Amino acid sequence: MTFKSLKITRPDDWHVHLREGNLLKAVINHSTRVNQRCIVMPNLNDPITTTLKGIDYIKKINLLSNNNFSPLLPCYLTEDLDLIDFSKGLDENIFIGAKLYPNEATTNSKYGISSTEKIYPALEILEKKDKILLIHGEKVDSEIDIFDREKYYIDQELSLIRKTFPNLRIVLEHVSSKYGAEYVNYSPNIAGTITPHHMMLTKKDVFLDKSINPHHFCMPVVKNEEDLIALRNFATSGNKKFFLGTDSAPHPIEFKVPNLKSKPGIFSAPCSIEIYASIFDEEKSLDNLEKFCSINGPKFYKLPVNADQIELIEERWTVPEYTIHQEIKIKNFMGGKELNWKLKA
Ligand SMILES: [Zn+2]
């Protein structure tokens, strides 16, 4: 039996939730073990809406990580953002861009956007400064089926943003549908991140025979087989519009179970690079893994590609069931299951 090994340029994670406090301490090493840079999401309990909050959060992350690791932070857009402060944060590279959460679309999005027109002045600043707009692309409306939120956001909001700001560069985050992936593929100035779980799960993995699996509940919700196949095809094709963004989103286990009040989010950081490698292997596309993980992202963000490499080896291992740190216990995605690829320590 021959075992494969693969060296690729060190990856970056263009969408991850590192959280704060003890939760940050519990999860950060799982992201820094592999990535040089992470776009860290600003939806903390007190969202990062000012440069001061941004500087403070970056400092907290840097205190817990090694010198080589760089957290990159988008400003959390609100309808009453201080635009002078926002401009300054972009100029001083405290903010890499800005994150648009539709109101109540996911965890800590209650300060998010209800009326897109109200943030046009902020989008104009982003477009002028050539900074990235990151979008959680789901239209939240009680009339709209939860599985169609991405499509409605694209048709009703995103297309209007693009018409109004044609030069604004946009990342449609955690693309979750065939419709969304095709939209990204044919639209100029847009790229998309794809999570491991949207390429592993369909709604059958959430809605089981007689119960619901809260550990597979995330936003956007995982969809149908044809969506999963489309995402796999775009990710593994080498297409430069798609790149790695895990959306690893830890919640302590008591916020996932019991599932009546389950919070959305899947914590994949302990094995995300290994899942991506396994998917690319299954799709016979290991040659394109480096493009997806390490090249397409920095090119779109106009940042240098990392200088060093990581090595992945073909080796069966079992993902630990939980990540535990002091009183915090988090269920790992794929916990207890076997994977074929492992990061060489
Ligand atoms: Zn997210």
pTM exceeds 0.85 for this model: yes
Tokens read off for 255: 């916020």
d(CA 130, ligand 1 centre) in Å: 23
What average pLDDT is seen over the chain? 95
Pairing of strands 190-194, 242-244: parallel
For 199, the 3-state DSSP assignment is: helix
Pairing of strands 97-100, 74-76: parallel
Tokens read off for 289: 């893994």
Domains assigned to the chain: 5-343 (3.20.20.140)
d(CA 4, ligand 1 centre) in Å: 32
Each residue's pLDDT tens digit, 115-128: 999 999 999 999 99
d(CA 312, ligand 1 centre) in Å: 26
Does residue 307 contact residue 239 with C-beta atoms inside 8 Å? no
Each residue's pLDDT tens digit, 33-85: 999 999 999 999 999 999 999 999 999 999 999 878 999 999 999 999 999 99
d(CA 195, ligand 1 centre) in Å: 10
d(CA 267, ligand 1 centre) in Å: 11
Residues annotated as catalytic are: 247
Largest CA distance in the chain: 62
> d(Cα 276, Cα 166) in Å, to the nearest integer?
32
Neighbours of ion ligand 1 (CB under 5 A): 247
